[in-house]
Amino acid sequence: MQEEEAGRIQAALLGWYGRCGRKLPWRARRDPYAIWVSEVMLQQTQVATVVPYYERFMERFGDVGALAGARLDEVLKVWQGLGYYGRARRLHEAAGVVVREYGGQLPSEAGALVKLPGIGRYTAGAIASIAFGRDEPVLDGNVTRVLCRVFCIRTLPGLGATQRRLWQLAGALLPAGQAGQFNQALMELGATLCSVVGPACEECPLGEVCGAYGRGEQERLPRRAARKAVPLKREAVGVIVRRGRVLISRRPAEGLLGGLWQFPSVAVDAGEAAADVLGVKVGEQVGLEVEAAEALGVVRHAYSHFRLRMEVFLCRARGGRVRAAGQDKGAGRVYKWVRLGALEDYAFCRASEKVMAMLGRRGV
- Would you please indicate which residues are annotated as catalytic (active-site) residues? 39
Q: How far apart are CA 125 and CA 138, in angstroms?
A: 5
Task: Provide the 10 A C-beta neighbour count for residue 228.
Answer: 7
72-79 and 86-102 helices, crossing angle to 10°? 130
Q: Spell out the residues 6+ positions from residue 12 whose beta carbon is closer than 8 angstroms to its own.
A: 205, 206, 208, 209
